[in-house]
A and B are shown apart, each in its own frame.
Chain A
Amino acid sequence: MDALEQFRQETRAWLEENCPEEMRDGAVGEEFICWGGRNWTFDSDAQKVWLERMAAKGWTVPAWPKEYGGAGLSKEEVKVLKAEMRRIKARSPLESFGIWMLAPALLKYGTHEQKAHFLPPIARGEIRWCQGYSEPNAGSDLASLQCKCEDKSDHWQINGQKVWTSYADKSDWIFVLVRTDPSATKHNGISFILVDMASEGVSTKPIKLISGKSPFCETFFDDARAPKEYAPGVSSIVGEVNRGWDVAKYLLTHEREMIGGGGGGLLGGRGIGEIAVGHIGLDDKGRLDDPLLRAKVAEAEVDGWSFLLTMERLKDEAKAGQGVGAKASMMKYYGTELNKRRFELFMDAAGSDGLEWEGARSEDGKLARNWLRTKANSIEGGTSEVQLNIIAKHLLQLPGA
């Protein structure tokens, strides 16, 4: 028996013994996610036990090095672990922006001391992070951000406002893009700083969207302080001072891959055609009983299928050693536009039922709210127009882009 097969058997046995029954329902919706953090209240004892056991094993972040809270598994072993978890329909023990966004930045740009200080609490689900990027006057033109961060010799002092900080009201720490050198050209005076949200001078306020409640907040810094070092050798700034744009760009690529469908499973679930038939029914030839809608649905499914195959191809190319690079922008652009199209078709198919906003029949307007929420897909993480600019510049090398 080869080593990988042995790993599979051991993994299967361990999961069998340690995954609580209640965590084997395959639930993946937002309401079932365990986000962790100081203020986290577990849904159930099972959710708590599951997180603790997986964290102790290093399997909340299996690919990370052991010294930072992971299990140091190889790509193949991670695949086996995921497959074995799927086999028993195990829920993910922990999801967080710390894992998805901050960790990749720290692993690439952080010092050993920073990694050792910040990563293990993320892996254990003890600290929940959020992202402070956009500002009221710095959206698509993110690099024009103005949130001020002054060197007060023994600490940094931060003043300014961030917006669209998802889950800021529930998070413990925030990674923030700040301007540390106002005299430098716009990409060169930015730093990537880590701030404890319990610090004095940091406050948040939720934002209500057209879809109703939302995870988005505004976050304010009023003479907020961050120490130069959180512990010996643990700088509060990731990467070099004034070189934070490099870190930010690197992270945005990650975020785009996720929003574009890589991590969000945007295109999963039932087909558009199947859902439309549920609402409208078939004619006597077995076709959706609305010929013009049928054509649009079929075109969207052709594009959706083609998009999924393209995700598959880019993953396979990455495995074969070809970088994805700016193609992440292409996937973000296409995937989010497609998702909006999909929800327009769901709304077309659902007719007046889809317009109900309250009440049990519509699950409090679930479809309508989700439809409205998709409008942000092509805005957050860089608008579609910004992605097209990136494609024009980096993939097509068009002048002046």
Chain B
Amino acid sequence: MPLVLTEEQEMLRESARGFLSEKAPVSEFRALRDSDDETGFSRDLWREMAEMGWAGILVDEAHGGADFGYVGAGVVAEEMGRTLTASPFLSTAVLAATALSKFGSEAQQAANLPAIAAGEKVIALAVDEGVKHDPTKTALTAEKSGNGFKLTGEKTFVADGQAADAIIVAARTAGASGETDGLTMFLVPADAVGLEKERTVMVDHRGAARLSFQGVEVTGEDVIGNVDGGAAVLGGVLTAGRAGLAAEMSGAAQAAFEMTIDYLKERNQFGQAIGSFQALQHRAAHLYSELELAKSVVLKALQDLDDGFQMAGPTASLAKAKVGSVAKLAALESVQMHGGIGMTDEYDIGLYLKRIRVAQEMFGDTAYHTDKIAGMRGY
């Protein structure tokens, strides 16, 4: 498949850019942050996005979705990255929709996918327990109890975990922490008895939570995929999430870069635009080159998800590794080149630095994925 967007995907990009610049520019996110809201996103805006087909972008038409594929989802994520739009797109439209569409039972799909596509149901993914992402270290236990299981343990860094109507949680049904096998994925209602949620206000002010499972009872019906076979489910879901985050970071990095280039042309010191100084020109030109590489790996990872979902892990890791470091460089260079004004809260560039830092960390940072690639390549 050629590494370019199709005409249909280009149209989606244009309509996404139009919608977001009107309904969800950076000023909207800033207003949301300053209002100390409990949710971390606007439910009204999310419903409007659902009307655009974005909530169900990975949901098939039989379940009321737009079925636009991963490249389409990535295009929207990238545009949201540009405008720093806060929404449950990643948690619900990418992660939960992937989990249920690719691995859910018919009953689970019927009960959840139409509600996701309608923008009525928000579902979060709970994986991490330690400070660094590593699914093999899952220790939250699912103990057999009658016909079902009892979940006990802690989860952290759960995007939209405080506002979600349901949680998809990775639990250990066999083996020990550090082992890939023995995981099982459960879909748990957010109001289940014994589930405690704590909103964690993060540096990017998006919705995130720590969850505590204290003997939460679930049944066999709540298992997504197979018991002890959760690694395959989680692997697929994380692959989609990593590609989605890479797309978002690429968009955020591009926007920060464009703001910075504009600033270099406007800001005068020593009687000339600072953009005429070669010290800054070369740094900007290098960053431009890195951003071009980032665009390529993002598109490749998304296309691989559409072409052969099972085989998309390597390029998703490549995208998360490469774009993580490029977006970080873009954020850091942008702040530095803005000088003093870039350090002020009033100016938007700092918001990009903050969001990119969080997206970088989520589902494995550059070091995690670079290490993974070295392993795949036999060293």
**Which A positions have Cβ atoms within 8 angstroms of B?**
271, 273-274, 276-277, 282, 286-288, 294-295, 297-299, 301-303, 305-307, 309-310, 312-313, 316-317, 319-320, 327, 330, 333-334, 385, 387-389, 391-392, 395-401
Contacts and interface: CB of A to CB of B under 8 A. Distances in A.
Contacts of B285: 330, 333, 387-389, 391-392, 395-396
| Residue in B2, B264, B300, B374 whose Cβ sees the most chain A Cβ within 10 Å | B374
B375 to A, nearest CB: 8
B293 A303 contact: yes
Interface string B280-300: 011011101100111111011
A313 B377 contact: no
B281 A298 contact: no
Contacts of B193: none
A400 B293 contact: no
Nearest to B281: A392
B347 interface: no
Contacts of A388: 281-282, 285-286
A287 B377 CA distance: 10
Contact of B379 (A276, A305, A401): A276
A182 to B, nearest CB: 29
Contact of A313 (B296, B318, B322): B296
A307 B293 contact: yes
B56 interface: no
Interface of B: 2-4, 261, 264-265, 272-273, 275-276, 278, 281-282, 284-286, 288-289, 292-297, 299-300, 318, 321-322, 367, 370-371, 373-375, 377-379
Contacts of B367: 295
A391 B289 contact: yes
Given A271-B377, A298-B371, A400-B272, A310 B261 contact: no
* In the A-B complex, the 9 residue pairs with the closest CB atoms: A400-B276, A391-B285, A392-B281, A316-B2, A298-B374, A313-B3, A388-B285, A309-B296, A310-B296
Contacts of B275: 398-400
Given A287-B374, A298-B379, 17 more contacts: A294-B379, A298-B373, A298-B377, A303-B322, A306-B294, A312-B296, A313-B3, A313-B299, A316-B4, A387-B285, A388-B281, A392-B281, A392-B282, A397-B265, A398-B281, A400-B273, A400-B276
Contact of B296 (A298, A306, A396): A306
Nearest to A275: B379
| Residue in B273, B285, B367 whose Cβ sees the most chain A Cβ within 10 Å | B285
B360 to A, nearest CB: 14
Given A277-B378, A277-B379, A313-B4, A401 B281 contact: yes
B13 to A, nearest CB: 15
Contact of A398 (B265, B292, B295, B373): B265
A394 to B, nearest CB: 10
20 contacts: A276-B379, A286-B378, A294-B374, A299-B370, A302-B321, A306-B322, A309-B297, A310-B292, A310-B295, A316-B4, A330-B292, A385-B282, A387-B285, A395-B288, A396-B261, A398-B264, A398-B275, A399-B273, A400-B276, A401-B281
| Residue in B272, B273, B289, B292 whose Cβ sees the most chain A Cβ within 10 Å | B289
Given A294-B379, A305-B318, A330-B288, A399 B276 contact: yes
A400 B274 CA distance: 10
B379 A282 contact: yes
Contact of B373 (A302, A312, A319, A396): A302
Given A298-B370, A309-B3, A389 B296 contact: no
Contacts of A312: 3, 296
Contact of A392 (B284, B296, B371, B374): B284
Contacts of A392: 278, 281-282, 284-285
B374 A319 contact: no
Nearest to A401: B281
B2 A320 contact: yes
A283 B282 CA distance: 40
A326 to B, nearest CB: 10
Nearest to A299: B370
Contacts of B286: 333, 388
Contact of A306 (B261, B265, B273, B297): B297
A162 to B, nearest CB: 28
B6 to A, nearest CB: 10
Contacts of A302: 318, 321-322, 370, 373
Contact of A327 (B276, B292, B373): B292
A295 B370 contact: yes
A69 B379 CA distance: 50
A172 to B, nearest CB: 38
Given A288-B374, A301-B377, A396-B261, A319 B296 contact: no
| Residue in A276, A312, A330 whose Cβ sees the most chain B Cβ within 10 Å | A330
Contact of A273 (B289, B293, B322, B377): B377
Contacts of A307: 293
B322 A316 contact: no
A286 B375 CA distance: 8
Contact of A396 (B3, B288, B318, B375): B288
B293 A334 contact: yes
